[in-house]
Amino acid sequence: MKLKIRNLNRLTAFSSTVLPLLLLLAAQGCKKTETGTITVSVVDLRGTPARGVSVTLTFQPTARKIKKTTSPKGTCMFTAVPAGNNYALKIEKKGYITQSREKVTVANNKETFIHLLFQVDRKKIPGNWRVARAGAKTGSLTLSARQKQAMRKLETLGYLSGYKAAPETKNVTIYNKEKAYNGLNLYCSGHAPEAILIDMKGKELHRWRYDITRIRGKKCDSPKCLYWRRVHLMENGDLLAIFEGHLLIKIDKNSHLLWSYWGGAHHDLFILPDHSIYVLTRKAVIDPKYNRTEPVLKDFIAILSPEGKEIRRVSILKCLENSKYTHVLQRMPESGDILHTNTIEVLNGKGKLARFSPAFKKGNVLISILYLDLIAVVDMEKESVVWAMDGMWKRQHQPTVLDNSRMLIFDNQFPVNGTRVVSRVLEFDPFTRNIYWEYRGTPETPFYTGDCGSCQRLPNGNTLISETGSGRAFEVTPDKTIVWEFYNPQRAGDNNELIAALFEMIRLSPDYTSNWLQ
């Protein structure tokens, strides 16, 4: 009997191609799966383990998820994870910024370590833990909905660096009674709309607080309405306070509202002996002269009566345009906050500065314009900048004329060796540019804040410095010895790892509150 085989060529092709592939797949199926381990370690800004954090491991091809929670040591472990590089991690906790890591690789019999820094979501914490009336006109421009939204957003921008990793120490940490200038200390910070008065040892003597929600018929949804940017204490216990970019209020010693001024007050104010008030204000507008489509913030100097009524308003932009310093406007940003004026001081006309130059006569106003790296003197009668200086600092704050006719200034971002920046305080001659004194910290006690900051020359020659971003204030002698130091006790985060921005610490004379505070 003969066996007849048909399509012999097809059978041969099948045997040589498909059968080996089937045998290979069968062999792989019998192989042991290669696995590894993923260990996730989560810490906060101070390096403290972040417990109770939800960690989700996703097998990306199948979208299968495994969720675990970090232990008290801030770690969690995923074992027997098939080797490969197609995994994703997501770390979440209420009130914190969600972190993720893609393309996590796992090797056979190996442990993959993932270290993550977990940060508090500052947008979800009230406060800062590190617009105007008349003014410029928009003319006949018809604003689009997008432009109006951009203007509102511009007027409500806050400080993004209000929180910083907190040290373990709080309140007064250094006090050299013999060398420090004895007095009272008043400060405001990003934790709440309040100001606190303490003695040299840090004991609280008085506290003022006023929430903007208590003002009937007014509403403010900006995060800047949750704290005070700057305050001024009157000798009778009344307090002036700025809700950044929105309003100025006056309250009495018992925190009862006396009046409010909704003129876009921001950054700083200055009180004359007759109790009239000079305050920086601003307004967001569409002005084709500067930008045809995007809004800009225009800054003003407003003069208020002691009762909070606006008497006059002068445009800082026009004062620059009406001067010989118009060239500095070339450095302005094209849109948004184009000047960012941050300091105001009314000159008293005393000392040699006024004798050397009429620019420093009584009644003229010294200002600091951050985005131009410029300080300037405005003649309020001429509505013109009559003196200006730049080139020695970057992103500066708090220029002030001293009794010796020199000037003191807080230089936020001074470059060192082209590789890093530090903050420093300078005492200099505004005519010769000679620097007579400088403080920039030491390797043991570094000193830096990228924004805000202030400095005050004390009667004994010492200098009180507010390092806003670190929540710190300290007093240094002329030989640069720290004789008083304070860390803001206001903290946030599960482990108190964040410190509230310390906008300004002011030293008052010991008897400043004698009329009302026992």
Would you say 269 and 260 are in contact if contact means Cβ atoms under 8 Å apart?
Answer: no
Q: What is the rounded distance in angstroms from the CA atom of residue 437 to the CA atom of residue 68?
A: 56
Per domain, the residue ranges of the chain are 35-119, 145-508
Would you say 276 and 304 are in contact if contact means Cβ atoms under 8 Å apart?
Answer: yes
Would you say 249 and 241 are in contact if contact means Cβ atoms under 8 Å apart?
Answer: yes
- Type and span of the H or E element at 344: strand 341-346
Position 498 scores a pLDDT of 83
145-508 shares the fold of 35-119 = no
Pick the CATH number of 145-508 from 1.10.357.10, 2.120.10.30, 3.40.190.10, 2.60.40.10: 2.120.10.30
Ranges of beta strands (E only) in 352-434 are 365-369, 374-379, 384-390, 397-401, 407-416, 420-428
DSSP for residue 124: G
Position 328 scores a pLDDT of 95
Helix (H, G, I), strand (E, B) or coil at 92: strand
Retrieve residue 168's tokens: 């373990």
Tens digit of pLDDT per residue, the chain (518 long)? 444 445 545 545 445 544 554 444 454 444 567 888 888 888 766 566 777 888 998 887 677 888 888 887 788 888 888 887 678 888 888 777 888 888 888 888 888 878 777 776 766 667 776 522 223 333 334 555 655 555 555 554 444 334 456 677 889 999 999 999 999 999 999 999 999 999 999 999 999 999 998 987 777 878 888 999 999 999 999 999 999 999 999 999 999 999 999 999 999 999 999 999 999 999 999 988 888 888 999 999 999 999 999 999 999 999 999 999 999 999 999 888 999 999 999 999 988 899 889 999 999 999 999 999 999 999 999 999 999 999 999 999 999 999 999 999 999 999 887 778 999 999 999 999 999 999 999 888 889 999 999 999 999 999 999 999 999 999 999 999 999 999 999 988 777 778 899 999 999 999 999 999 98
Retrieve residue 207's tokens: 């506290």
Position 234 scores a pLDDT of 98
Distances (CA, A) of 55 to 58, 64, 97, 141, 263: 10, 14, 13, 52, 47
Identity of the residue numbered 34: E
Q: Which CATH superfamily is domain 35-119 in?
A: Carboxypeptidase-like, regulatory domain (2.60.40.1120)
